Amino acid sequence: MATTTAQLILTSTDLLSDSLSLSSIATLTTAGSSTGLTTTSGLGRKTTTSTSQYILFDADDYASGPAKAHKVYLKNLSTTAAEYFTITHNAEEVGRLYAGDWAFFPWNNHDGSADIKITPSVSTSITLEYMLLTD
């Protein structure tokens, strides 16, 4: 059984009236069990040179249904502050990842049609790092 742990640490000395120090950790498991996630797409990179929308994870390629525990990691590797990727899930805009931003979120493929897509903000070279962890 694979063991994969995700950890998030948020700190700030000037966001609130007091210092902020928040930490959360989770062992990633298959849906409804204590068995670790066993499959990954591997860590990949997608470099684009147009503002066209791209399918990053095609729902047809991954098992669907509510009993899946897919997790998605994304990171915009750009160093230009104004460059971003728009992230779309099941035709709904999730948000934008600006230079250096990253996201980690669950993906329920519902009925096999919930693609995850990216749309770059620029037609010059921009790279997104990505990985899918699944059971």
Tens of pLDDT, residue by residue over 52-80, are: 999 999 888 876 666 677 899 999 999 99
Burial of residue 107, with CB atoms counted within 10 A of its CB: 0-12 exposed, 13-18 middle, 19 or more buried = buried
pTM of the model: 0.89
Looking at residue 88, its pLDDT comes to 95
Query: Domain residue spans in the chain?
Result: 38-134
At residue 114, the pLDDT reads: 85
Q: How far apart are CA 62 and CA 111, in angstroms?
A: 11
* 28-55 tens-digit pLDDT: 988 888 888 888 889 999 999 999 999 9
CATH architecture of 38-134: Sandwich (2.60)
pLDDT at 91 over 90: no
